[in-house]
């Protein structure tokens, strides 16, 4: 009788352990899939960030700023006689 009880307890413990291993492996797979998705999203964002940095550098170029100021805004550099230097 005692032997059967011990055997039953050991079998149940073995089954419970197997089920826990299956659950843990499933969670690990799900976490790995999520990690892969997040890494791809990170890589895509890094690519976009690099593209935006290049675009910003292009728009901020002084030649480009001067071109837009003269063509779109009609701005011109003032003549030397209209320039006033303030000294302390």
What pLDDT digit, counting tens, does each position of 28-86 carry?
Answer: 999 999 999 999 999 999 999 999 999 999 888 888 888 888 998 899 888 888 898 89
Helix count and strand count (H, E) for the chain: 2, 0
Task: Answer whether 76's CB lies under 8 Å from 70's CB.
Answer: yes
Higher per-residue pLDDT: 67 or 21:
21
Mean pLDDT computed over 10-27 = 98
**pTM (two decimals):** 0.58
């Amino acid at each position: 009788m005692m032997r059967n009880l011990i055997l039953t307890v050991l079998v149940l413990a073995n089954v419970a352990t197997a089920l826990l291993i299956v659950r843990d492996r499933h969670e690990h797979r799900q976490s790995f899939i999520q990690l892969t998705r997040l890494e791809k999203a990170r890589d895509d964002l890094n690519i976009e960030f690099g593209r935006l940095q290049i675009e910003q550098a292009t728009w901020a170029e002084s030649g480009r700023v001067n071109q837009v100021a003269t063509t779109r805004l009609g701005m011109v550099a003032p003549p030397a006689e209209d320039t006033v230097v303030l000294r302390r």
